């Protein structure tokens, strides 16, 4: 089944404790991205990657890191999480870099930082 997977789905952590949210897709998509969704603010892009070893900042990159060492994986790293990073996070992928191509979203990771 073609899909984007994320782990963990739910995470409660404390301020300053490094964490990684994994994202993997099995559709051989070049483009992957991370979003956060907050009430009243909608979906905002954190980072995106056009291909292996090619990443760039989205609208809200502060406090996050990403890497793209393999085509299928695009982990999101929070080196020192803070309470304002409590949010619902989605990973997404699409084929190629064409803007007409459908984005497929992962199931989401609900993160709470205490």
Partner 1 sequence: QKEVEQNSGPLSVPEGAIASLNCTYSDRGSQSFFWYRQYSGKSPELIMSIYSNGDKEDGRFTAQLNKASQYVSLLIRDSQPSDSATYLCALYPGGSYIPTFGRGTSLIVHP
Q: Which stretch binds partner 1 (CB under 8 A): 11-19, 20-28, 69-77, 104-112?
A: 104-112
Q: Which stretch binds partner 1 (CB under 8 A): 14-22, 62-70, 76-84, 101-109?
A: 101-109
* CB-based contact 33:50 (threshold 8 Å): no
The CB-of-16 to partner 1 minimum distance in angstroms stands at 28
Mask for 40-59, x = binds partner 1 (CB under 8 A): xxxxxx--x-x-----x-xx
Taking the C-alpha atoms of residue 67 and residue 89, their distance in angstroms, rounded to an integer, is 16
Which candidate, 83, 100, 89, places its Cα nearest to that of 58? 89
The CB-of-93 to partner 1 minimum distance in angstroms stands at 12
Which candidate, 82, 83, 52, 56, places its Cα nearest to that of 69? 52
**Is the CB of 81 or the CB of 106 nearer to partner 1?**
106
Tokens of 22: 């994994």
**Is the CB of 63 or the CB of 108 nearer to partner 1?**
108
Taking the C-alpha atoms of residue 110 and residue 33, their distance in angstroms, rounded to an integer, is 17
If one asks whether residue 2 binds partner 1 (CB under 8 A), the answer comes out as no
> E strands, 26-64, where?
31-38, 42-51, 54-57
Binding site for partner 1 (CB under 8 A): 40-45, 48, 50, 56, 58-59, 90, 97, 99-100, 102-103, 105-108
């Amino acid at each position: 089944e073609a899909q984007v997977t994320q782990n963990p789905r739910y995470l409660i952590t404390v301020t300053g404790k490094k964490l990684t949210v994994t994202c993997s897709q099995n559709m051989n998509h070049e483009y992957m991205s991370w979003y956060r969704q907050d009430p009243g603010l909608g979906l905002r892009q954190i980072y995106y990657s056009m291909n292996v070893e090619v990443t760039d900042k989205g609208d809200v990159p502060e406090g996050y890191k990403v890497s793209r060492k393999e085509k299928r994986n695009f982990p999101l790293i929070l080196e020192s999480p803070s309470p304002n990073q409590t949010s619902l996070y989605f990973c997404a992928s699409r084929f190629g870099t064409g803007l007409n191509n459908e984005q497929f979203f992962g199931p989401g990771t609900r993160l709470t930082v205490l």
